[in-house]
Amino acid sequence: MSSVHPESQAGFAKNTELYNQVRSGYPAEALSLLRKAVSKQGPLDVVEIGVGTGIFTRGLLAHPDWATVIRTLRAVEPNEGMRETFQNHTTDPRVVLADGTFEDTGAESGSADLIAIATAFHWCLDIPAALTEFLRILKPDGVLCLIWTGQESDLDATPWLKQVVSIAEARENSASPNARTEKWRDLFSLPAYTESFSETPEEQVFRWGIPVKVEDVLNKVLTASRVSALPEQEKEVVVRDVRGVLAKGEGMVWVDEQDGKFELPQMCRVVISKRK
Protein backbone atom coordinates (compact mmCIF):
# COMPACT_ATOMS: atom_id res chain seq x y z
CA MET A 1 0.00 0.00 0.00
CA SER A 2 1.28 3.47 -0.88
CA SER A 3 2.07 5.76 2.05
CA VAL A 4 0.98 8.76 -0.04
CA HIS A 5 -2.65 9.79 0.33
CA PRO A 6 -4.49 9.07 -2.95
CA GLU A 7 -6.36 12.38 -2.81
CA SER A 8 -3.05 14.19 -2.54
CA GLN A 9 -1.65 12.27 -5.50
CA ALA A 10 -4.68 13.00 -7.66
CA GLY A 11 -5.29 16.57 -6.53
CA PHE A 12 -1.71 17.76 -6.89
CA ALA A 13 -0.81 15.90 -10.07
CA LYS A 14 -1.55 18.97 -12.20
CA ASN A 15 -1.96 22.74 -11.90
CA THR A 16 1.24 22.87 -9.86
CA GLU A 17 2.43 26.07 -11.53
CA LEU A 18 -0.86 27.76 -10.62
CA TYR A 19 -0.50 26.37 -7.09
CA ASN A 20 2.95 27.92 -6.86
CA GLN A 21 1.64 31.29 -8.05
CA VAL A 22 -1.41 31.65 -5.81
CA ARG A 23 -0.71 29.78 -2.58
CA SER A 24 0.20 31.90 0.43
CA GLY A 25 3.73 32.39 1.69
CA TYR A 26 4.82 32.26 5.33
CA PRO A 27 5.09 35.39 7.49
CA ALA A 28 8.59 36.51 8.43
CA GLU A 29 7.62 36.57 12.11
CA ALA A 30 6.83 32.85 12.03
CA LEU A 31 10.23 32.01 10.54
CA SER A 32 11.95 34.19 13.15
CA LEU A 33 10.08 32.32 15.89
CA LEU A 34 11.31 29.05 14.45
CA ARG A 35 14.92 30.27 14.33
CA LYS A 36 14.80 31.17 18.02
CA ALA A 37 13.64 27.63 18.79
CA VAL A 38 16.71 26.06 17.16
CA SER A 39 19.41 26.44 19.80
CA LYS A 40 22.33 25.57 17.53
CA GLN A 41 23.93 28.64 15.95
CA GLY A 42 24.97 26.92 12.73
CA PRO A 43 25.73 25.56 10.28
CA LEU A 44 22.33 23.86 10.20
CA ASP A 45 21.12 20.84 8.26
CA VAL A 46 17.41 20.94 7.45
CA VAL A 47 15.06 18.21 6.24
CA GLU A 48 11.78 19.53 4.86
CA ILE A 49 9.10 16.92 4.16
CA GLY A 50 6.24 17.53 1.75
CA VAL A 51 7.92 20.53 0.15
CA GLY A 52 5.34 20.89 -2.62
CA THR A 53 6.45 23.57 -5.05
CA GLY A 54 8.94 25.04 -2.58
CA ILE A 55 7.04 28.03 -1.20
CA PHE A 56 8.22 27.45 2.37
CA THR A 57 11.66 26.28 1.23
CA ARG A 58 12.44 29.48 -0.65
CA GLY A 59 11.02 31.62 2.14
CA LEU A 60 13.25 29.91 4.69
CA LEU A 61 16.39 30.15 2.56
CA ALA A 62 15.83 33.86 1.92
CA HIS A 63 14.88 34.85 5.47
CA PRO A 64 17.58 36.98 7.16
CA ASP A 65 17.58 34.78 10.27
CA TRP A 66 18.17 31.66 8.17
CA ALA A 67 19.94 32.68 4.97
CA THR A 68 23.51 32.36 6.23
CA VAL A 69 23.13 29.49 8.72
CA ILE A 70 21.64 26.73 6.55
CA ARG A 71 24.30 24.35 5.26
CA THR A 72 22.05 21.79 3.57
CA LEU A 73 18.34 21.43 2.96
CA ARG A 74 16.98 18.04 1.93
CA ALA A 75 13.64 18.68 0.22
CA VAL A 76 11.40 15.60 0.26
CA GLU A 77 8.31 15.42 -1.98
CA PRO A 78 6.39 12.35 -3.23
CA ASN A 79 4.48 14.08 -6.03
CA GLU A 80 6.28 14.22 -9.37
CA GLY A 81 4.39 17.29 -10.60
CA MET A 82 5.22 19.19 -7.44
CA ARG A 83 8.89 18.21 -7.71
CA GLU A 84 9.04 19.45 -11.30
CA THR A 85 7.65 22.86 -10.35
CA PHE A 86 9.94 22.96 -7.31
CA GLN A 87 12.95 22.47 -9.58
CA ASN A 88 11.74 25.18 -11.95
CA HIS A 89 11.69 27.77 -9.17
CA THR A 90 14.32 26.66 -6.64
CA THR A 91 17.97 26.94 -7.67
CA ASP A 92 19.83 27.25 -4.36
CA PRO A 93 22.83 24.87 -4.42
CA ARG A 94 22.28 23.90 -0.78
CA VAL A 95 19.03 22.16 -1.71
CA VAL A 96 18.82 18.47 -2.59
CA LEU A 97 15.39 17.47 -3.92
CA ALA A 98 14.34 13.87 -3.31
CA ASP A 99 11.36 11.59 -3.79
CA GLY A 100 10.14 10.45 -0.38
CA THR A 101 7.41 10.45 2.23
CA PHE A 102 6.84 11.24 5.90
CA GLU A 103 7.69 7.62 6.72
CA ASP A 104 10.68 7.31 4.39
CA THR A 105 12.67 10.49 3.79
CA GLY A 106 15.87 8.84 2.61
CA ALA A 107 17.83 11.16 4.92
CA GLU A 108 20.79 9.85 6.90
CA SER A 109 20.19 8.88 10.52
CA GLY A 110 20.90 11.72 12.95
CA SER A 111 21.38 14.23 10.15
CA ALA A 112 18.74 16.91 10.82
CA ASP A 113 18.96 19.93 13.10
CA LEU A 114 15.46 20.83 11.93
CA ILE A 115 12.60 18.86 10.41
CA ALA A 116 10.07 21.25 8.85
CA ILE A 117 6.68 20.24 7.46
CA ALA A 118 4.79 23.12 5.88
CA THR A 119 1.05 22.87 5.14
CA ALA A 120 1.44 19.14 4.63
CA PHE A 121 1.33 17.02 7.80
CA HIS A 122 -2.47 16.66 7.69
CA TRP A 123 -1.84 14.39 4.67
CA CYS A 124 0.12 11.88 6.77
CA LEU A 125 -1.49 8.42 6.62
CA ASP A 126 0.58 6.77 9.35
CA ILE A 127 1.53 9.16 12.15
CA PRO A 128 3.33 6.55 14.33
CA ALA A 129 5.48 5.47 11.36
CA ALA A 130 6.23 9.11 10.55
CA LEU A 131 7.30 9.72 14.14
CA THR A 132 9.66 6.75 13.93
CA GLU A 133 11.27 8.36 10.89
CA PHE A 134 11.47 11.77 12.58
CA LEU A 135 13.27 10.25 15.56
CA ARG A 136 15.64 8.38 13.27
CA ILE A 137 16.85 11.46 11.42
CA LEU A 138 16.55 14.21 14.06
CA LYS A 139 19.65 15.09 16.07
CA PRO A 140 19.54 15.40 19.88
CA ASP A 141 18.27 18.92 20.72
CA GLY A 142 16.88 19.10 17.18
CA VAL A 143 13.55 20.72 16.38
CA LEU A 144 10.41 19.43 14.66
CA CYS A 145 8.25 22.20 13.19
CA LEU A 146 4.74 21.70 11.86
CA ILE A 147 3.51 24.87 10.19
CA TRP A 148 0.42 25.75 8.17
CA THR A 149 -0.48 28.89 6.28
CA GLY A 150 -3.58 29.84 4.35
CA GLN A 151 -7.03 31.18 4.93
CA GLU A 152 -8.23 32.15 8.39
CA SER A 153 -9.67 29.11 10.19
CA ASP A 154 -12.21 31.12 12.21
CA LEU A 155 -14.64 31.24 9.33
CA ASP A 156 -17.62 32.55 11.28
CA ALA A 157 -16.02 36.00 11.29
CA THR A 158 -16.00 36.13 7.48
CA PRO A 159 -19.29 34.84 6.02
CA TRP A 160 -18.27 35.01 2.35
CA LEU A 161 -15.12 32.99 3.04
CA LYS A 162 -17.06 30.42 5.03
CA GLN A 163 -19.41 30.02 2.06
CA VAL A 164 -16.51 29.62 -0.39
CA VAL A 165 -14.86 26.99 1.82
CA SER A 166 -18.18 25.13 2.08
CA ILE A 167 -18.44 24.98 -1.71
CA ALA A 168 -14.98 23.41 -1.98
CA GLU A 169 -15.43 21.04 0.95
CA ALA A 170 -18.74 19.79 -0.43
CA ARG A 171 -16.61 17.99 -3.03
CA GLU A 172 -14.66 15.99 -0.44
CA ASN A 173 -15.61 12.82 1.37
CA SER A 174 -15.69 12.52 5.15
CA ALA A 175 -12.24 10.91 5.22
CA SER A 176 -10.54 13.72 3.29
CA PRO A 177 -7.61 15.19 5.25
CA ASN A 178 -8.20 18.68 6.56
CA ALA A 179 -5.83 20.58 8.82
CA ARG A 180 -8.78 22.17 10.65
CA THR A 181 -9.90 18.78 12.01
CA GLU A 182 -6.54 18.67 13.83
CA LYS A 183 -6.14 14.92 13.46
CA TRP A 184 -2.43 15.71 13.23
CA ARG A 185 -2.44 16.44 16.96
CA ASP A 186 -2.54 12.67 17.54
CA LEU A 187 1.24 12.86 17.14
CA PHE A 188 1.64 14.53 20.52
CA SER A 189 -0.11 11.77 22.49
CA LEU A 190 2.07 8.94 21.17
CA PRO A 191 4.31 7.38 23.86
CA ALA A 192 7.37 7.67 21.61
CA TYR A 193 6.70 11.39 21.28
CA THR A 194 6.35 12.09 25.00
CA GLU A 195 9.48 10.05 25.69
CA SER A 196 11.56 11.84 23.07
CA PHE A 197 10.47 15.48 23.08
CA SER A 198 10.63 18.09 25.81
CA GLU A 199 7.45 19.46 27.38
CA THR A 200 4.36 20.62 25.52
CA PRO A 201 4.86 21.84 21.94
CA GLU A 202 5.24 25.59 21.57
CA GLU A 203 2.39 26.92 19.47
CA GLN A 204 1.68 30.35 18.05
CA VAL A 205 -0.81 31.73 15.54
CA PHE A 206 -0.21 34.73 13.28
CA ARG A 207 -3.07 36.56 11.55
CA TRP A 208 -3.11 39.17 8.80
CA GLY A 209 -4.98 40.04 5.61
CA ILE A 210 -4.00 40.28 1.97
CA PRO A 211 -5.70 42.26 -0.83
CA VAL A 212 -7.23 40.02 -3.49
CA LYS A 213 -9.59 40.17 -6.44
CA VAL A 214 -12.24 37.69 -7.52
CA GLU A 215 -9.88 35.86 -9.87
CA ASP A 216 -7.33 35.42 -7.07
CA VAL A 217 -9.89 33.66 -4.90
CA LEU A 218 -11.04 31.49 -7.81
CA ASN A 219 -7.46 30.42 -8.52
CA LYS A 220 -6.89 29.52 -4.87
CA VAL A 221 -10.04 27.40 -4.89
CA LEU A 222 -8.98 25.66 -8.11
CA THR A 223 -5.70 24.58 -6.49
CA ALA A 224 -7.45 22.86 -3.59
CA SER A 225 -6.80 19.14 -3.98
CA ARG A 226 -10.46 18.17 -3.86
CA VAL A 227 -11.31 20.70 -6.62
CA SER A 228 -8.21 20.23 -8.78
CA ALA A 229 -9.03 16.55 -9.28
CA LEU A 230 -12.61 17.21 -10.46
CA PRO A 231 -13.71 16.81 -14.09
CA GLU A 232 -13.77 20.13 -15.96
CA GLN A 233 -17.56 20.29 -16.00
CA GLU A 234 -17.71 20.03 -12.21
CA LYS A 235 -14.96 22.64 -11.84
CA GLU A 236 -17.13 25.01 -13.87
CA VAL A 237 -19.94 24.51 -11.35
CA VAL A 238 -17.55 25.31 -8.49
CA VAL A 239 -16.37 28.47 -10.24
CA ARG A 240 -19.95 29.56 -10.91
CA ASP A 241 -20.97 29.01 -7.29
CA VAL A 242 -17.92 30.80 -5.90
CA ARG A 243 -18.53 33.77 -8.23
CA GLY A 244 -22.06 33.93 -6.87
CA VAL A 245 -20.83 34.07 -3.28
CA LEU A 246 -18.28 36.75 -4.10
CA ALA A 247 -20.87 38.83 -5.94
CA LYS A 248 -22.97 38.93 -2.76
CA GLY A 249 -19.85 39.63 -0.69
CA GLU A 250 -21.39 39.00 2.71
CA GLY A 251 -19.02 40.41 5.33
CA MET A 252 -16.50 41.46 2.69
CA VAL A 253 -13.98 44.13 3.75
CA TRP A 254 -13.00 46.32 0.82
CA VAL A 255 -9.42 47.43 0.33
CA ASP A 256 -10.16 49.31 -2.90
CA GLU A 257 -13.73 48.78 -4.06
CA GLN A 258 -13.24 50.71 -7.29
CA ASP A 259 -10.35 48.39 -8.20
CA GLY A 260 -12.24 45.30 -7.02
CA LYS A 261 -9.82 44.52 -4.19
CA PHE A 262 -11.02 43.10 -0.89
CA GLU A 263 -9.33 41.53 2.12
CA LEU A 264 -8.67 37.80 2.37
CA PRO A 265 -8.00 36.91 6.03
CA GLN A 266 -4.90 34.77 6.46
CA MET A 267 -3.58 32.64 9.29
CA CYS A 268 -0.31 30.85 10.01
CA ARG A 269 -0.07 28.26 12.78
CA VAL A 270 3.39 27.24 14.01
CA VAL A 271 3.85 24.18 16.25
CA ILE A 272 7.39 23.57 17.50
CA SER A 273 8.69 20.48 19.33
CA LYS A 274 12.21 20.21 20.76
CA ARG A 275 13.90 16.84 21.02
CA LYS A 276 15.49 15.89 24.32
One digit per residue, the tens of pLDDT, for the chain of length 276 reads: 346 545 545 445 557 888 888 888 999 999 999 999 999 999 999 999 999 999 999 999 999 999 999 999 999 999 999 999 999 999 999 999 999 999 999 999 999 999 999 999 999 999 999 999 999 999 999 999 999 998 766 677 899 999 999 998 887 655 567 777 789 999 999 999 999 999 789 999 999 999 999 999 999 999 887 888 888 999 999 999 999 999 999 999 999 999 999 999 999 999 999 999
In a domain, 228, yes or no: no
In a domain, 92, yes or no: yes
In a domain, 251, yes or no: no
Q: What is the pLDDT of residue 250?
A: 96
In a domain, 244, yes or no: no
In a domain, 253, yes or no: no
Q: What is the pLDDT of residue 56?
A: 98
Q: What is the pLDDT of residue 7?
A: 55
In a domain, 195, yes or no: yes
* Spatial distance between the Cα atoms of 41 and 193, rounded to a whole number of angstroms: 25
CATH of the domain at 107: 3.40.50.150
Q: What is the pLDDT of residue 4?
A: 59
Q: What is the pLDDT of residue 230?
A: 86
Containing structural domain, residue 85: 6-154+175-210+266-275
**Nearest Cα residue to 13 out of 264, 246, 229:** 229
* pTM for the predicted model, two decimal places: 0.91
Give the DSSP letter of residue 108. Answer: P
129: left (phi over 0), alpha (psi -120 to 50) or beta: alpha
